[in-house]
Each structure stands twice: as structure tokens, then as C-alpha cells.
Amino acid sequence: MVNKLRIALYDSSGYMTRLAEYICRKGYQMLETKLYTNLPFLKKCAAAGEIDVLLAGEEVAEEIAGLEADISQVILLTEGKGINLPPAYTLVFKYQPAQNIVQEILSHVAENDEIHVTQWSYRRKRIEFIGVYAPFGGGGVTTYALTAAKELSERHRVLYISLELFCGLDMFFSEGKHQEIISERGMSEVIFYLKQRKDKLAMKLESLISVIDGVRGILAVEDYRDLYQMTKEDMELFLDVLEKQTEYEKIIFDIGYLSDTILFLMSQCTRIYMPKAITESQQSKKRAFERLLIRENNTRICENIQEME
């Protein structure tokens, strides 16, 4: 196993230089990126086992032929012309934002069982988990969760995670993106990976990131039943990966349902924001939720609840 994913970018046109600069500027701690312009030196490093993934343009496919024997995954940036390329190569569309290219790369690598990366731990302050929840409907939980994430992101690296049963974020996307989120799997993909106990979950998380009203986040499940398949052990692993293998400092959980797994998550949160109960019905449901916490010996959750106006 290696400590970081070692990506080689082979450049013959100048395009890779800009992509390498983007990766370095964004500071992907899980990646070790090197730019190669000399083919013999690239082949030498590949033969020495120093490269996990090679990223190159489709125009150099003939030049790099045979390197797949020494490199676990070869990814070619393509213009989508459908040229005849060896099936050993993975294709990524070239003309898209750099963030999308990197996310596709991470997604492909996460699926490649031949590439193994050790579980690393960042040296920084302990991550803070923050929940937003209402035991009654119509509390504006999602709006508040995104607002809190946006405010915190001005000073910290923040990730918003939707634990809603359905995606209700259409209003934050443009018309074009609105069509795209229909196919986004979000937390469904995360839960699948948790169940598989795969060792590159942190990479998969980065590949699933959407920008929601200026906030980095993971969208809701594709099918509400996926959330109910998430066990306490799955959540424990999820929190451990977030804490030890990502660079985020604050995680905002937009909680839209209740289960034993969610109660465990709440017990790990330092703060739980709850909309103020206004109507008599809302107040009654809030009291019922508090009684449940007391019965379940979860008074710590009660102590961490902060009402919001």
C-alpha cells in the first residue's frame, strides 16, 4: 500500500500543466501529483513502480502504449471523438471544469480494486460534527443547515451532508444543473461504499461533492430506503473516515429522519441546532422527542441542543 495516490500527468500540449496547477492549488492531500514531459523518464518511473495512475491526452495513446503493464490505471482525456483506443484505458471527457475531471478520476480510482491506499490521519484539531434537526415538520431545517454551512465556510473547511429522505435542493441549482442532479446518487453511493468496507471511501466522497449555493456538499439519497439500511457501525466508520481521512474541519448534517443510527450520530455531535417550536403541535412533538432521549439515556444530546429562531 502507498500513503498517497501517486498520479502522473504526461504533458505534450500544455493542457496538463494547467490541470496540475489546479490540483496543487486546491491542495488535495490524498494525492501526490507529478507532471512529466519526458517520455523515457516517465517509463523509467513506471517501471520502478512509482506511479499508480497515469493521466494523459488521447493524442499520445500510441506513445504510452504498454505502460498499462506497469501502471494500475491509465486515464486518457478525450475530445469525445470515439477513436479506437485499447479497452485497458479509462476515458474522461476533456472539455469540462477541472473540478469535474478530478472528481471523475477519483471515482474511477475508488472503483479500481488493484489500487490500495493506506488509511492516513491528518494532524490537525479534532473535527466538529454539527447536526440540524427538527422533530416536527416545516422547520426550515435544510435552509438553516445550508446557511450555517455557508457562514462557517468563511473561516473553516466545511462539508454539508444531506441526511434527508428526499433531495429538496432544486432551488439552489441553475436549470441545467437541475437536470443533472436527477442522476446524482449522493449518500446512496456513500452508503454502498460503507457496506462494502472499501478502503478508498475518502476518495469516493470527494468524487461525489456538489457545490450547493456556494457550499461543498453531498446530496441526499437516490432512494429513501437506503438511509434505513445504514447501521450504527456504518455511521461510526463514516465519521471515522471524515475525521481521519479528509481535510474538513466542520461537518454539517442536515437530518431529515430518526433512527438508532441517527441517535448515535447526534451523540457524536457537539452541537445540534433545532428550529424553535412555535405552534402547540410543534411544542408537543419537541417534548415527545426529549422524553425519548431521556428514556434512551441520551441526555447528552439534550444538553447539546441549541434552539434557533
Q: Within a domain: residue 277?
A: yes
CATH number, domain with residue 199: 3.40.50.300
- pLDDT at site 305: 93
Residue 121 lies in a domain: no
Q: In terms of domains, do 87 and 136 share one?
A: no
> Which band of pLDDT confidence, cut at 50, 70 and 90, is reported for residue 260?
very high
Does 119 fall in a domain?
no
At which residue does the C-alpha cell 443533472 appear? 180
Cα-Cα-Cα-Cα torsion 151, 155, 158, 160, nearest 10 degrees, comes to: 0
d(CA 75, CA 140): 43
116 occurs within a structural domain: no
pLDDT score at 180: 47
C-alpha to C-alpha distance for 143 and 168, rounded to whole angstroms: 10
> What pLDDT digit, counting tens, does each position of 123-171 carry?
456 799 999 999 987 768 999 999 999 999 999 999 999 999 987 665 4
Residues 144, 18 share a domain: no
> 70 with 151, same domain?
no
Predicted confidence (pLDDT) at residue 258 exceeds the cutoff of 60: yes
Total domain count for the chain? 2
Cα dihedral 76, 79, 81, 87 in deg (nearest 10)? 10
pLDDT at 110 over 60: yes
**Among residues of the chain, what percentage have pLDDT more than 70?**
88
Residue 39 lies in a domain: yes
pLDDT at residue 2 is higher than 60: no
Exposed / middle / buried, residue 50 (Cβ in 10 Å: 0-12, 13-18, 19+) = middle
Tell me if 16 sits within 8 A of 10, measured CB to CB.
Answer: yes
- Please give the pLDDT value at position 175: 42
Q: Is the same domain home to 103 and 173?
A: no
pLDDT of residue 137: 75
Same domain, 147 and 279: yes
> Which range of residues forms the domain containing residue 63?
5-111
CB 145 within 8 A of CB 31: no
Last residue of a domain, one of 50, 82, 111: 111
pLDDT for res 182:
42
pLDDT beyond 90 at 54: yes
Distance between CA atoms of residues 162 and 149, nearest Å: 12
Q: Are residues 94 and 157 in the same domain?
A: no
